[in-house]
Structure 1
Amino acid sequence: MEKKSTKIAIIGAGISGLIAAITLEKEGYAPTIYEATDAMGGRVKTDILEGYQLDHGFQVLLDAYPMAQKYLDYGQLELQKFLPGAQVFHRGKSSVIGDPLRNLSLLIPTLTSGIGTFGDKLKVLKLNALLKEKTLEGIFEEPETSTLEYLKSFNFSEEIINQFFKPFFSGIFLEPNLATSSRMFQFVYKMFGAGLAVLPKAGIGAIPNQLKQKLKATKFIFNCPVESCTDEKITLSDGKTAFFDYKIIAADASPLVPNLRKQHLDWHTSDTLYFTTEHRKINKPLIGLIADQKALINNIFFHTALETEQNGAAELLSVTVVKEHDLTEYQLVQRVKEDLEKFCGITTDRYIKHYSIKKALPKLTDIRYSLMPSETRITENMFLAGDYLLNGSLNAAMISGEMAAKGVLEVIEKR
C-alpha cells in the first residue's frame, strides 16, 4: 500500500496525538487528527484574557523529562525558571524552603525556616542521593505503595510531611492525601533533582503549538467529536462516518470503543482560579504552599514573578484547589479570597477566571514508565495513546504517542 494512500486517523489533538502524528510524518505518512474542541493541546492549553496568560490549571514543565528533551526546542520556548524551592504559609507565618545545593540563595532561608528537623534535612540529602542512582525504569519496577507510606518509611517527621511534602506534591498529583503511587513520587522527585521546573514564556500552551509547527502533512479537523470507533470506521457525533485503514485513539478510549466500555477511567479533578493583586506577596519565582489543614486552597503562584509574553496591568495570581468540595463558582471564589487573606495575608483586587478541570489527571495504580509498540494495539487496526496507559505526566503522554505510531508502522510493515 502506498504511504500517501494509507489512511490513518488520530482521535485527539493532545500531546500524545501530536507526537503520534510527528512519528508517522517522519515515515512519510499524512494522518488526519480529529479534535472535539476548537484547539489542540488537550489538558495543556493557555488562554489570553485581558492581556493575561492563563494556563488551564497551574502547570509546569520539568525540563529533565527525557521525551521533552527529545521533542521540544527549549531555546525557542524561552523557558522561564522557577527557583528549586517553595514559600510555605503556616499558622500566619511564611518561610522559604529549598535546595541550597542548586541555588545558594536558598541556604540561609532553608536553614532558618523551622520546617522539619535537622534529621529531616539529612534524610532529604539521603533521598536525593538514593534517587540519583536509580534509573527511571528501575523506579517503575519497584514495589508500589502510596507516596505517604513511602515518606513514612523514610522516617520523615509528621511536621515536614504536613508542611512541605503534602502541599507540594498534592499540587502536582492533584489529590490532597498523597495516595498517589510511590513510583510516581520517586519519578517526579528525581526529575526535580535532575533539572528545573520551567514555564515557556508564552505559557504552557506554547508546547503543543511548537509540536504542531513540526507537522507539515497532517490534516486537523477541529470541533469534531468522535462518537464511536471500530476497525472499519469512525462515527462522528453528527452521525457522519469516515473510513480509515488505521486509527490511534489519543484520548480516553473507554466511551468510544464498544469492548472497552466497562473499562471506565477515573480522574482527579482540580480548580484553578486567577486573580489580580496590587502587590506580589512572593517576589521570587517560588510556588507558595498553604500548609494549614483547614485551608481549602493548596498552592499559589504569582505568574508575574516570571517573564511572560503577554502582560496585564496588575500582578497575576493563580490559586489551586485539590480538595473535593460542592461549592458553586461564587461560593468558591469567596472561600478562596477568605483563605488567601487568612492564611497568606493576600488581598485580591479582581477575580479573572475559574478553571474547573474535571479530567485533570488520571487516577492510576500499577503505573509504568514505558511500553512496547505492540502493547498499544487493541484490535487489528486500532491503537491507543495517552498518559493514562503509563503514568500521569507529559513524558508519558509523549512516550505513548510515539509507541502507538510505531505500533501502526510495525503492522503496516508486516503487511
Structure 2
Amino acid sequence: MKNNQKVYIIGAGVSGLIAAINLEKEGLSPTIIEADNAVGGRVQNDIVNDYILDRGFQVLLTSYPAAQKYLDYKKLDLSYFLPGAVIFKNKTQKVIGDPTRSLQLLIPTLFSGIGTIKDKFKILQLNRLLKKKSIDDIFKTKEQTTLSYLEDFGFSENIIHDFFQPFFSGIFLETKLNTSSRMFEFVYKMFGEGLAAIPKKGIGEITKQLHQQLKNTTILFNTKVKEVSHQKITLENGDVLSGDYIIVTANHSDLIPNLKSQKTAWKSCYNLYFELNHKNINKPLIGLVPDKNSIINNIVFSSSLQTNPNNNHIISVTVVDNQNLSEEELIIKVSTELDLFCNIKISKFLKMYFIPKSLPDINHLQYESNPSETQLTQSIFLAGDLQLNGSLNAAMLSGEKAALGVLEAAEKTIIN
C-alpha cells in the first residue's frame, strides 16, 4: 500500500534529488516538478566558448558526511585545492596554509608576513579544538558572530583582516563576518578534515551523478508551480496535480499560502569569468584580496585545478557587494582591480552570473532535524538548505529527512 502513495517533489536541486533517491529505496516512484530545463538548481555549470563555467564559484568539501554517503568521489574525477590561500598585497603573492596537511606550505606560511607568530599558534590551537569537537556539539554551542568569535579566540586584527575576512566572506557571502559562529566552526572543521574540490567537468557533475542514481522517478522539466495546498499543486498554466504527499524544496514562502508572511532572506553574489594569456597562481589555491577598497572576494584559476585545459587560462572572480554598479561598470571595476591589486591582466571577458539566491540568510542554525520536523501539514513537507544551514551537506540532509518524514507519515496512514 505504501508503494502506491503518490509523492510530488518540487525542485530538482540537490535536496529534491536526494529526497527522490530515498523514496525510491523504499519502493516509491516520485515525480519531481522542475521549473528549469535541467536538474541541479544552484549546482550547475554551462559551456561557454568551449569552457566549463560553474554558475557561481562553489566547492565540494570532501569531509561533508552527507556527500560521502551519496556521492562517488572517484567517478566525479575531482581536482583538489591545497589547504591554504594566496593573498595579494601590493601586487605580490603571499601564501598561507596548513603545513600539517601539506608540507609545501610550511616555508611560505612561516615567511608570509600574514599574522603574527601568536596567530599561527592560535590556528594550530583552533585546529586541535575543532578536531575534537563533534558536529553535534558545534551546533549546540551558543551562537555569536564569526567576527566576535575570532576576536575572542585571540586572533590579531592583522590576520582577521588579511585572511579570515576575505576567505570566509567568499564562503558566507557577506563581508562583515556576521554569520553564526556555528557555521564558522562547522566549515572550518570540514576544511580541516578533508579537502576542497571541484569536479573537472564542472560543479554540475554532482547533481548529474545524483540524477543518474534515479531509476523510477519522473521529472517534469520546464514546469512552473504557482501554489501548493493540501494534496494539490496548481501549475502556472492552470493545471492541477493531486498527490498524497508533497515535498517542497524551493520558494516555500512563495508557493505555500500560510508561509507568505515568512519570507526567507537570501544572500546574493556575482561571479565573473575572464580569459587570460597566462596564469598568475601556479598552485591550486584560492586567491584573496584583503584591501578594504576592493570588491573582489576570491579568485580562482581553472588551469591550476586541471579544469578547462587550454592554451589560454580562465579566471573566476566572486563579488559579494557590487556597490550598486551596473553590470558594465562592475566588469570594468573588477578588471581594473585585478590589474591594480594582483597584477593580473585580462585579455577577454567571458560571462557574468548574478545569483540572487546564493545562500539563505538564516539564524539559529541546525545541523539536521528529525524527519517529523520537516512536516508542515498532513501532506506537505519542507526541504532545502534553508531549513538547516547554507551548505551542500545541509541540502542533502534536508532532502533525506523530508523523504523519511513522508515515509513515516505514509506508514502511519497505512497502520490507521
Give the alignment's TM-score, normalised by structure 1: 0.98
Give the structure 1 partner of residue 353 of structure 2. Answer: 355
Q: In structure 2, what is the Cα distance between the partners aligned to 1:107 and 1:155?
A: 22
- 3-state SS in 1 of match to 2:46: strand
- Larger mean CA deviation between 359-368 and 84-93 belongs to 84-93
Q: Which amino acid aligns with 1:193?
A: G
| 1:194-343 equivalences in 2 (<5 Å) | 194-308=193-307, 310-343=308-341
SS in 2 for 1:291: coil
Correspondence for 2:164: 165
Q: Residue type of the partner of 1:306?
A: L
What are the superposed Cα offsets for residues 355-383 of structure 1, whole Å, 9 maximum, x if unpaired? 00100000011100010000000001000
State yes or no: 1:193 paired with 2:192.
yes
* Paired position in structure 2 for 1:396: 394
Correspondence 1:69 to 2:62: no
Identity fraction in percent: 55
Q: Distance in 2 between matches of 1:200 and 1:237?
A: 35
**Match status 1:53 vs 2:45:** no
Shift of 1:206: 0.2
Give the Cα–Cα distance (whole angstroms) in 2 for the partners of residues 211 and 111 of structure 1: 42
Partner of 2:82: 83
**How far does residue 279 in structure 1 lie from its aligned partner after superposition?**
0.7
Contact 2:94 2:112 in 1 (8 A): yes
**What is aligned with 1:383?**
381
Is the 2:2–2:411 contact (alpha carbons within 8 Å) kept by the matching residues of 1?
Answer: no
Question: Is the 2:143–2:181 contact (alpha carbons within 8 Å) kept by the matching residues of 1?
Answer: yes
User: Equivalent residue for 2:121?
Assistant: 122
Kindly tell me the number of residue pairs found equivalent between the two proteins. Answer: 413
What is the DSSP-based 3-state SS (H/G/I as helix, E as strand, rest coil) of the residue aligned with 1:298?
strand
Q: Which amino acid aligns with 2:32?
A: I
Aligned equivalents of 1:204 and 1:149: distance in 2? Answer: 33
Match of 2:25 in 1: 26
Deviation of residue 232 (structure 1)?
2.9
Please state how far the C-alpha of 1:413 moved relative to its aligned partner.
0.6
CA deviations over 1:202-244 (Å, ceiling 9, x no partner): 1110000000010000000111110100113100111111111
CA contact (8 A) 1:53 1:311 kept: no
Partners in 1 of 2:12 and 2:310 — Cα distance?
Answer: 29
2:412 corresponds to = 414
Unaligned runs of 5+ in 2: none
Post-superposition shift, 1:324?
Answer: 4.2
Q: Note the C-alpha offset of 1:281.
A: 0.4
Deviation at 1:316, TM superposition (A): 0.5
Structure 1 pair 371–2 and aligned structure 2 pair: CA distance change class (3 A): closer
Question: Once the two structures are superposed, what CA deviation does each residue of 1:314-336 show, in whole Å capped at 9, x if it has no partner?
Answer: 10000000124211111110000
Q: Equivalent residue of 2:365, what SS?
A: coil
Q: Partners of 1:30 and 1:269 in 2: how far apart?
A: 35
Q: Which amino acid aligns with 1:353?
A: K
SS of equivalent to 1:109: helix
Distance in 2, Cα, partners of 1:277 & 1:240: 49
Judge conservation of contact 2:77–2:199 (CA < 8 Å) in 1.
yes
Decide whether the 8 Å contact of 2:5 with 2:410 is kept in 1.
no
Question: Quick check: 1:144–1:366 contact (8 Å CA) kept in 2?
Answer: yes
Please say if residues 252 and 386 of structure 1, whose CA atoms lie closer than 8 Å, have aligned partners that are also in contact. Answer: no
CA contact (8 A) 2:90 2:342 kept: no
Contact 2:231 2:246 in 1 (8 A): no
Cα distance in 1 for partners of 2:79, 2:65 equals 19
State the distance in 1 between where 2:74 and 2:235 align: 39
Aligned to 1:17: 16
CA contact (8 A) 1:50 1:312 kept: no
The aligned residue for residue 36 of structure 1 is 35
The 4+ residue runs of structure 1 with deviation greater than 3 A are: 310-313
Displacement of 1:249 in angstroms is: 0.2
Which amino acid counterpart does residue 157 of structure 1 have in structure 2? S
How far apart are the structure 2 equivalents of 1:329 and 1:312?
27
**Structure 1, unpaired ranges of 5+:** none
3-state DSSP of counterpart to 1:248: strand
Letter in 2 for 1:100: P
Is the 2:2–2:410 Cα contact (8 Å) retained in structure 1? no
Q: How far, CA to CA, are the matches of 1:65 and 1:410 in structure 2? A: 26
Name the CA distance, whole Å, in 2 between partners of 1:300 and 1:285: 11
| C-alpha distance in 1 between matches for 2:312 and 2:50 | 10
Indicate the SS of the match to 1:414. Answer: helix
Q: Secondary structure in 2 aligned to 1:255? A: helix
User: How far is the alpha carbon of 1:296 from its aligned partner?
Assistant: 1.0
CA contact (8 A) 1:273 1:354 kept: yes
